[in-house]
Structure 1
Amino acid sequence: MTVSLPPLRDVIARHGLSASKALGQNFLFDEKLLDRIAAIPGSLAGEHVYEVGPGPGGLTRALLRAGAHVVAVERDHRCLPALAELSEAFPGQLRVIEGDALKIDPFTEIGAPFHIVSNLPYNVGTALAVGWLGGNAWPPTWKSLTLMFQREVADRIVSSPGTGAYGRLAILAQWRSNASIAMPVHRSAFTPPPKVMSAVVHITPKDAASGVKMSVLENLTGAAFGQRRKMLRQSLKSVPGALEALQKTGIAEDRRPETISIAEWCALAREVG
């Protein structure tokens, strides 16, 4: 469906909007860039999409143009009139929830498998991603995650063992998902330009390692990377059964957490229980 929409800059000017630093907002105006982001998950025609922090609706309009049925969560009440105009332009395709995404279960709101596509607010992006990747139930209710992060966070998500960026976030993202950087985004693409570069990360679920509980993996990696300069014999002694698991799996106690592969972390978690 072809819908004629005014330029985003005109919408923002007409509604007197400006990006809120307190809400971690940075607006994207480049429609071609937004269409490219919306295309990353593949065809969205008829698909359900969950979006966090749509702001004035730049990415939202790209998702709607792609034929998606979008549920968008927005905290900033100033943006609601602009989003309401999009609802009118795309009848039956957009539902906006005013609220805090950290307190909302998207499956409860959508009731069907869905994709998550968001230019995440910088101040809550990591917390939201960890929540979507967490939980012992797998496969998840989402089909894919296409998320804009600060480049530093994106690099952490896709990092490999032995690198400075490798840590808890990489392990939680990769042990039962495929994660890749789909697109770098220069800071100049945003208004106002943030101080850092950004990147879009694309994550799809895969089969989880058998016998591994996310809650155990979270405890192990939280303890280890909370003291990442220490050897495992020190950082894991607070986790019941962890030192015994090191012996059973043959992982040396004098290694540091950033040297442990995801497969080894899963083996430890399996032994701990």
Structure 2
Amino acid sequence: MSETVSFGYEDIAPTEKTARVGQVFTSVARNYDRMNDAMSGGMHRLWKDRFVRRVKPRAGEFILDMAGGTGDIAFRMDAAAGGDAHITVADINPDMLGVGIDRAADRGIDGLVWTEANAETLQFEDKSFDAYTIAFGIRNVTDIPKALREAHRVLKRGGRFFCLEFSTTLWPGFGEVYDAYSHRLVPKIGGMIAGDEDSYRYLIESIRRFPDMPTFEAMIGDAGFVQTNVEPMLGGLVAIHSGWKI
């Protein structure tokens, strides 16, 4: 890993990024899902539904949902598998996990496993899971290549990797409009709803610093995955990345 990594538009020491990202998500945890609705006009729900349809969770499977703190993806996968998949929700941030555990209790969902974990140094055994999912979390990881290698390690042979993440739209004109909206308005919305402009300014900047679709697909391949694929939405504003372990 390089001597510095990006924290939004700043370049900082890797150890500093882990701590500062933790502070961001501790700050936004309780309003995270409300802000997702506000920032995307509710479209994040459709993106997540589509993502889970691609994952195709099945009864009896062991699935790791990384950076899944508030449970949005895990709840969908649990329903898709008829409540019969073995889903572990992992997140580095205990405050995000706390929100997810509360939401699960409110929904009467008691079959999920919740655990604090760092995507770069997972505590799980080799070949433990049939599928690994991560939605809107990989760009906040300090050492992304290391996290991808860990994803590969904990998957069984034939296991599948799915990542939902913001990217760079290729639609002419749309990117400029979205940039203006996200940089100017999203932090202000964060201030109104979550009382925290700075955290949402970082989250928007982190999207701009994240690798484009071909670059990130190549990183997934470098981690050992095969048959990698990218499915762009809104011209690539959001993308579903996938790969298989053989």
| TM-score (ref. length: structure 2) | 0.53
Q: Identify the residue that residue 117 of structure 2 maps to in structure 1.
A: 99
What code does the residue aligned with 1:143 have? Answer: G
Alignment gaps of 5+ in structure 2: 1-28, 34-38, 168-210
Q: Does 1:33 align with 2:47?
A: yes
Higher RCO (CA 8 Å, separation ≥ 6 residues): 2
AA at the equivalent of 1:75? I
Of residues 196, 202, 220, the one that matches 2:242 is 202
1:75 aligns with one of 92, 103, 113: 92
Q: 5 Å matches for 1:132-171? A: 132-133=151-152, 140-141=156-157, 143-151=159-167, 152-158=211-217, 169=219
Q: CA RMSD in A?
A: 3.4
Q: 1:123 aligns with which of 136, 140, 147?
A: 140
Equivalences for residues 164-243 of structure 1 within 5 A: 169=219, 172-173=222-223, 177-184=226-233, 197-206=237-246
Identity %: 12
Partners of 1:44 and 1:154 in 2: CA distance: 28
Letter aligned with residue 123 of structure 1: N
Contact between 1:181 and 1:201, CA under 8 Å: does it hold in 2? yes
Aligned with 1:17 (options 31, 36, 42) = 31
Distance 1:33 1:17, change over 3 A: same
Change (3 A) 1:72 1:134: closer
Q: Is the 8 A contact 1:40 1:202 kept in 2?
A: no
**Residues 44 and 31 of structure 1: CA distance in aligned 2, closer, same or farther (over 3 Å):** farther
Q: CA deviation at 1:134?
A: 6.6
Distance 1:158-1:112 versus aligned 2 partners, 3 A rule: closer
Superposed displacement of residue 115, structure 1? 0.2
Could you tell me how far apart the structure 2 residues matched to 1:185 and 1:98 are? 33
Aligned CA distance change for structure 1 residues 43 and 31 (closer, same or farther; 3 Å): same
Deviation at 1:148, TM superposition (A): 2.3
User: For 1:40, what is the secondary structure of its paired residue?
Assistant: helix
* Cα distance in 1 between the residues matched to 2:54 and 2:160: 10
User: Are residues 186 and 49 of structure 1, via their aligned partners in 2, closer, same or farther at CA, if it must alter by over 3 Å?
Assistant: farther
Q: Which residue of 2 aligns with 1:261?
A: none
Instruction: Decide which structure has the larger Cα Rg and report it.
Output: 1
Give the secondary structure class of the aligned counterpart of 1:104. coil
Confirm or deny: 8 A CA contact 2:66 2:134 kept in the other structure: yes
* In 2, Cα distance between equivalents of 1:158 and 1:78: 31
What CA distance in whole angstroms lies between the structure 2 residues aligned with 1:143 and 1:154? 22
- Going from structure 1 to structure 2, the CA distance change for 1:150 and 1:202 (only over 3 Å counts) comes to same
Q: TM-score, normalised by structure 1?
A: 0.48
Find the counterpart in structure 1 of residue 58 from structure 2. Answer: 44
Give the structure 2 partner of residue 234 of structure 1.
none
Cα separation, partners in 2 of 1:177 and 1:158, compared to 1, 3 Å: same
Cα displacement string for residues 165-213 of structure 1 (whole angstroms, at most 9, x for unaligned residues): xxxx365257x611001343679xxxxxxxxx3311011134xxxxxxx
